[in-house]
């Protein structure tokens, strides 16, 4: 049952406000955070305050956001929904690149599972990357 403060996310009911992990990695969403311990503390505090879903992506860092989430919260609380996105990747120069072929999408899902240390994800969204935008386009299409 949902309320004005909650909504259905697949078979789950979560609060309308979750935690977006995009800013956990370093500047430009690339590399390690400036303060590793503070990033871990922020994640733990968010869950203590009632956050029940986290939006992340393997390409944040890359790997950095997911590894911080795993370090801070694993084993995950039973009510915590991990939501990720696929459809992009980062190169060594921190450029945002599309990765939207079926094999790339499958690989990205498998990398998210690996770095988060889980067998399944609550939701996987497809992020479309725009040509001249330089980063993710503002469009998500839920896959699962």
Name the domain count of the chain.
Answer: 1
Identify the CATH number of the domain in which residue 126 sits: 3.20.20.100
Bigger pLDDT: 31 vs 134: 31
- Confidence at residue 10, expressed as pLDDT on a 0 to 100 scale: 75
Catalytic residues: 60
- Confidence at residue 135, expressed as pLDDT on a 0 to 100 scale: 52
pLDDT at 57 over 50: yes
In a domain, residue 1? The reply is: no
pLDDT tens per residue, range 68-101: 999 999 999 999 999 999 999 999 999 999 999 9
Contact in structure between 112 and 57 (CB atoms under 8 Å): yes
Bigger pLDDT: 132 vs 56: 56
Domain of residue 89 covers 6-142
Contact in structure between 86 and 136 (CB atoms under 8 Å): no
pLDDT band for 46, please (50, 70, 90 cuts): very high
- Considering the chain, what is the average pLDDT of its residues? 89
- Confidence at residue 136, expressed as pLDDT on a 0 to 100 scale: 53
In a domain, residue 48? The reply is: yes
Run of H or E residues at 82: strand 81-86
């Amino acid at each position: 049952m949902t309320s004005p403060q909650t909504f259905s996310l697949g078979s789950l009911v979560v609060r309308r406000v979750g935690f977006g992990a995009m800013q956990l990695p370093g500047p430009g969403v690339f590399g390690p955070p400036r303060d590793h311990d503070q990033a871990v503390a922020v994640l733990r505090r968010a869950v203590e305050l009632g956050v029940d879903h986290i939006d992340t992506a393997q390409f944040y860092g890359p790997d950095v956001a997911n590894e911080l989430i795993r370090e801070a919260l694993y084993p995950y609380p039973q009510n915590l929904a991990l939501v990720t996105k696929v459809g992009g990747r980062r190169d060594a120069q921190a450029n945002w690149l599309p990765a939207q072929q079926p094999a790339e999408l499958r690989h990205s899902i498998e990398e998210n599972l690996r770095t988060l240390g889980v067998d399944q994800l609550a939701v996987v969204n497809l992020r479309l990357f725009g040509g001249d935008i330089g980063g993710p386009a503002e469009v998500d299409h839920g896959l699962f």
